[in-house]
Amino acid sequence: MKRCAALAVFLLFLTGLSGCARTQAAEATFFAMDTVMSARVWHGAGGAADAQAVQSLVTELEQTLSVTDERSELYRLNADGQAELSADTLNILQQTLALSARTGGALDPTLYPAVRLWGFTTGDYRVPSEAEIAEAMAAAGTEHVSIDGSTVTLTDGAMLDFGAVAKGYAAQKAADELAARGAAAAVLSLGGNVQTLGSKPDGTPWKIDVRDPFDGTRAAVTLSLTGSHAVVTSGGYQRYFEEDGVRYSHIFDPETGAPARSGLASVTVAADDGLLADGLSTALYVMGLDAAADFWRASDDFEAVLITDGGEIFVTEGLSGSVSGAEVQVIGR
């Protein structure tokens, strides 16, 4: 019981200690990166310290990667146009640039000037003029980013934003840390990003709900997966504003500098790596159903659930045996 008490002291909110004595699972809920996060860890010893490690790690990354906190590393890079980056930030940048190239630019970490112009990240939402959008987009494009050792230079007023991949990177780093600490199993939920580690101690599969984009109270489908996975959803419903009856969401189309309108309401990607799943869920949302299906056919490192604005649910072949809860259409090779 001592461990349970220590946990209560450590964590911001304590959601449950169910089975603390019997199953050695520690569960923590906290707020970071603008969203509610939870960690459930099964471990032979030190469950509270493990859950605390996840929170510390995520909070530290948030302080490094924030685009609005003047003390953050990324804020300094964006303000000065040049900075020496820490290993984490450099790692994220390199992986994101590679994924940007692979997705034909659908994932683009240089959209920040446009994202900010529309009021995302500041909260001053508005529909800007064509001229303002053109000006913001003049600074976009990964050709404005150069890396020399650990020094990164941004040219022509370019600014970076890792909003599309930060939670995925954080979840992966947390899962790796838990594995290194000898955790038997864990499930992390970082605001739409689920990361599983190992197998559930009771032998049943992990059950991961894919939220119904039209009704936040229910799941559209549920995935049953065993082992370690990252399952990440990007959806227009997650952050948006409305003006004159039109909904503008926080996922941007790099070709227009405006919120993407691809006919998709949400995309969920399952992959081995957190940053990959997070980056791809954003990129596939931008691409739309047909281009996303073609992209999947040319890949071998992820599966996806795609829900259209009309409510149709598509799943790639590799998930067809793992999905339950609704009628789905299978995308084949």
269-328 residues near ligand ADP, rule: CB under 6 A: 278, 282, 286
Give yes or no for residue 249 binding Mg ion (CB under 5 A): no
Q: Burial, 298: exposed, middle or buried (Cβ in 10 Å; 0-12, 13-18, 19+)?
A: exposed
**In one letter, which amino acid is 73?**
E
| Residue 69 to residue 166: CA distance in whole angstroms | 15
234 Cβ contact partners less than 8 Å away, ≥ 6 residues apart: 164, 192, 251, 266, 267, 278, 281, 282, 284, 285
Q: Least distance from C-beta 316 to ligand ADP, angstroms?
A: 19
147-176 residues near ligand ADP, rule: CB under 6 A: 161, 163-164, 167
How many residues sit in the footprint of ligand ADP (CB under 6 A)?
Answer: 21
Nearer to Mg ion, 48 or 286 (CB): 286
| Residue 330 to residue 333: CA distance in whole angstroms | 10
**In one letter, which amino acid is 305?**
V
Q: Least distance from C-beta 46 to ligand ADP, angstroms?
A: 30
Nearer to ligand ADP, 17 or 284 (CB): 284
> Residues 185-224: x/- map of binding to ligand ADP (CB under 6 A)?
-------x--------------------------------
Nearer to Mg ion, 100 or 281 (CB): 281
Give yes or no for residue 236 binding ligand ADP (CB under 6 A): no
User: Could you identify the residue written with the tokens 């009704």?
Assistant: 215
Cα 13 to Cα 8, 17, 29, 33, 154: the distances in Å are: 8, 12, 6, 16, 40
Beta-bridge partners for 329? 314
Contacts with Mg ion, residue ranges (CB under 5 A): 164, 234, 278, 281-282
Contacts with ligand ADP, residue ranges (CB under 6 A): 107-109, 111, 115, 120, 161, 163-164, 167, 192, 234, 238-239, 250-252, 254, 278, 282, 286
